[in-house]
Structure 1
Amino acid sequence: MITREIVRAAFPVVPLDEVVEFLDHRRKPVKQSERVEGIYPYYGANGQQGTIDGYLFDEPLVLVAEDGGHFGDPDRGIAYRVNGKIWVNNHAHVLRPKACIDIRFLTRVLENYDVGPFINGSTRAKLTKAQAKRIEIPLPPLEEQKRIAGILDQAADLCRLRTRALDKLDTLGQAIFHEMFGDVAQNSMGFRRGTIGDLAAETQYGTSEKASETGPLPVLRMNNLTYDGRMDLASLKYMDLKASDFAKYTVVAGDMLFNRTNSPDLVGKTAVYRGQSPMAFAGYLVRLRANAEGNTEYISAVLNSAYGKATLRGMCKSIIGMANINAKELCKISLPIPPRQLQDAFSNRLAEVDKERLKFEAAIAESNTLFASLQHRAFRGEL
């Protein structure tokens, strides 16, 4: 996070208004229902929001979130550089750098800037144009700006390369699944066909106990399950369970969780818990444990496959608002039933992929720490 104290440390500072021209008057919002997809990027507060069939700008620019941005966590990025034919809605300020400032340097200053002191709005945080103009920008000589931007760009490229490698690793699990089980929709491998219920030893709904910010036991909620079949433990809440309810409402390694209630697009999110410490699970989730014929890694992979997603969408196609697929309906979903040994072999290969994932995630965290350190040193004049 870049604060005013950091940017004041080594270089002269000027208001943002002195180094850019605001082009906000040329922005034009378009309702999603009225937007016609096309070849031109459509931008908002947090980056590209889709495409559109026309453009408003065609030059190098910097976009800064006006409202709806990550103002409480600017390390996620509140500014980004764009170029070419684009459309921008009214949730991002449009900045044209003046000759005195390098566009790459300006982006690096603004992308993680703590704009908290400039935010207005009690219900929805907003960085108004009047307040944005007051943001203090360090202004070293132009050549020094380019040098600093070059160093930071190299560090950011390292972060991107490692993130792309992780993205490719994510597709490896899908490739392994297809290699071992073929097209599950067509059952191209000719396995015996059955239902998820044929592979389930038990299903259990989660606890309705209220969660809070602190407590002895972390609790998994529907937001902790990702659409692509993983568990995101970055945002957890906690609770205390009675001893008599502990086994009933906790997961152990190998348990599968199924998001039974959500929007029609998100209901059915599925992931396997691989942690070593028990965690509670909330009421919108179903815990499934496999019997001697099944492996939850295989069941979860089926539900996260194109076939599984299409099946779940079909089960919710007539529902408006919150959709629900209960445990009985989950168990009726059809799937091929490979030999247990093959399912276990798939699970073992996924475990190896998961080990590699941990290495990549550690490398990405190291890269992000390095970038943040370089950013701070750069604007303190220590590079």
Structure 2
Amino acid sequence: MNIAITPFFRTLGEVADVQIGPFGSLLHKADYIAGGIPVINPMHIAPDGIAADPEFSISDEKAASLKRYHLEAGEVIMGRRGEMGRCAVVLPEHAGMICGTGSMKIVPSPEKLIPEYLVHILRSPRARRELENAASGVTMLNLNATALKGLQISLPPLEEQRRIAGILDAADALRRRRREALALLDTLPGAIFAEMFGDPRDNPLGYPARKLSDLCSRITVGVVIKPASYYVDDGVPALRSVNVREGGFDLKDLKYFSQQTNDGPLKKSKMKKGDVVIVRTGQPGRAAVVDEEIAGANCIDMLIASPKEDELLPYFLEAFLNSDAGRQMALSNQTGQVQQHLNATALKGIDFITPPIEEQREFTRRLDEIRRAKENLTTHLGELETLFASLQSRAFAGDL
């Protein structure tokens, strides 16, 4: 017969000790050295655990004076500044490291709370919201020990905590593998480009070289003079460099022009399907092909190249510009010095390798396969994110 386990709730302070890292005169910037005992601040707490940085260390002597801040296996370290819920279990290999000023260490009561379960609770959306509401600060959130101790958590028996942590660990591992697979796919276009065409600076396959201006029907710049004067609350998207990724777009934080302005005084920089949009400053040379979703939008302070598709395919140009060699060629002037700002003249003057169009089509076909794989993985990752958030919420509510 299955017996339902009814969890009850306790404040974290009832089942764990919470201690803020050293502050004030206990630890100064001047105390940091390279290669000593690592100090763990929020920046060193990653989703998959503690990632110590040897550059953020202190001497053995200084560490000895901070004995009460030493981390021990089985504790939990959590950032108290900035992003709430950033936490990790202290593993045996982390024992003896120092809880940093921007962190707290949590010591669970062994007979009441297991650290793996606690980490999942603290990372849950609900817990993060409650901690954000309890934290102070405008520019950067700052959580104190009293607020963290007051957080209510569901507290099933230890065996049930282990079961729940195991479920969440498995779901989290699936998410990580999907992210790793996506990251690997992001590296493939450059690898395939190098395999098929070699380094364009050396041109080992002896392709004809032509000026990029001869291979494009236009190379122009987006809106550069007072673009903010054209902004409206809603209308035609106006992309900025922050919206362009290598081989794609991030459509968060968009600006907008009115349709009338887009079709009128700013029509020169209106983008069409098959154009390649190129970042000028910040990360100059980063490029993406305009697809159906982006076609008709405008752009701000970026370059637009319209390849003549019987001679140059858009995705070949995109991959060239996103390669280290292509970007260096685009940014280098005639004396070989690197500019931090990419202008239209420099782009037009690139001596661009021109493989036969059939080879470019084969390259594009292989990129299409990568894009389809990424779309499938992204869909699966979204489903896993939704599932994981649901599991976290149920665990926090004591309903998993």
Contact 1:30 1:89 (C-alpha < 8 Å) held by counterparts: no
Kept in 2: contact 1:169–1:353 (CA 8 A): yes
Residue type of the alignment partner of 1:59: A
Deviations 1:201-253 (A, max 9, x none): 21222235337684122232211122x44322244343324232464333232
Cα distance in structure 1, aligned partners of 2:16 and 2:375: 42
CA separation in 1, counterparts of 2:330 and 2:317? 14
Q: Of the candidates 46, 65, 82, which is equivalent to residue 79 of structure 2?
A: 65
Q: Per-residue deviation at 1:282?
A: 3.3
> What is the CA–CA distance in structure 1 between the aligned matches of 2:99 and 2:316, rounded to whole Å?
43
Give the letter for the 1:236 counterpart. Answer: L
Say whether residues 1:19 and 2:16 are aligned partners: yes
TM-score of the superposed pair, with normalisation by structure 1 = 0.81
How many Å separate the matches in 2 of 1:248 and 1:172?
Answer: 34
Q: 1:43 to 1:181 in 2, by over 3 A?
A: farther
Take 1:29 and 1:200, find their aligned partners in 2: how far apart are those partners? 57
Per-residue Cα deviation, 1:24-80 (whole angstroms, up to 9, x for no partner): 12896769xx864799796534735773154774634433332232x5xxxxx6333
Give the secondary structure class of the aligned counterpart of 1:22: strand
- Report what 1:170 is aligned to: 186
Which letter does structure 1 place at the counterpart of 2:108? Answer: P
1:290 deviation in Å? 0.8
CA contact (8 A) 1:221 1:282 kept: yes
Does the 8 Å CA contact 1:169/1:357 hold for their aligned counterparts?
yes
2:144 equivalent to 1:128: yes
Gaps (5+ residues) in structure 2?
Answer: 1-5, 64-70
User: Which residues in structure 2 correspond to 1:305-320 (within 5 Å)?
Assistant: 305-311=323-329
Aligned positions, number: 360
In 1, the alpha carbon distance for the partners of 2:231 and 2:210 equals 41
TM-score of the pair, normalised by structure 2: 0.78
> Could you tell me how far apart the structure 2 residues matched to 1:317 and 1:28 are?
43
Q: 1:155 to 1:289 in 2, by over 3 A?
A: same
Deviations 1:97-152 (A, max 9, x none): 33231111111011132122212112332223443333223222222111111111
Q: Is the partner of 2:352 in helix, strand or coil?
A: strand
Measured in 1, the distance between the counterparts of 2:235 and 2:210 equals: 40
Match of 1:215 in 2: 234
Tell me the equivalent position of 1:78: 86
Q: 2:104 aligns with which of 83, 93, 106?
A: 93
Report the secondary structure of 2:303's partner residue.
strand
| Alpha-carbon distance in 2 for matches of 1:256, 1:38 | 48
Larger deviation: 100-109 or 268-277?
A: 268-277
- Structure 1 match to 2:270: 250
Tell me which of 352, 371, 389 is aligned to 1:335.
352
For residues 242 and 365 of structure 2, what CA distance do their matches in structure 1 show? 27
Pick aligned residue for 1:368 from 356, 366, 385: 385
Q: Structure 1 residues 87 and 269 mapped into 2: Cα distance closer, same or farther (>3 Å)?
A: farther
Alignment match, 1:352 = 369
- Structure 2 CA distance for partners of 1:192 and 1:381, relative to 1, 3 Å: same
What is the alpha-carbon distance in structure 2 between the residues aligned to residue 39 and residue 300 of structure 1?
A: 45
Task: Specify every segment of 5 or more residues in structure 1 that has no aligned partner in the other structure, as ranges.
Answer: 1-8, 72-76
In structure 2, relative to structure 1, the CA distance for the partners of 1:205 and 1:130 (3 Å cut) is: farther
Q: 1:284 aligns with which of 301, 310, 318?
A: 301
Q: CA deviation at 1:314?
A: 5.6
Between the aligned partners of 1:276 and 1:81, the Cα distance in structure 2 is 43
Rate the CA distance shift 1:157–1:35 in 2: closer, same or farther, 3 A.
Answer: same
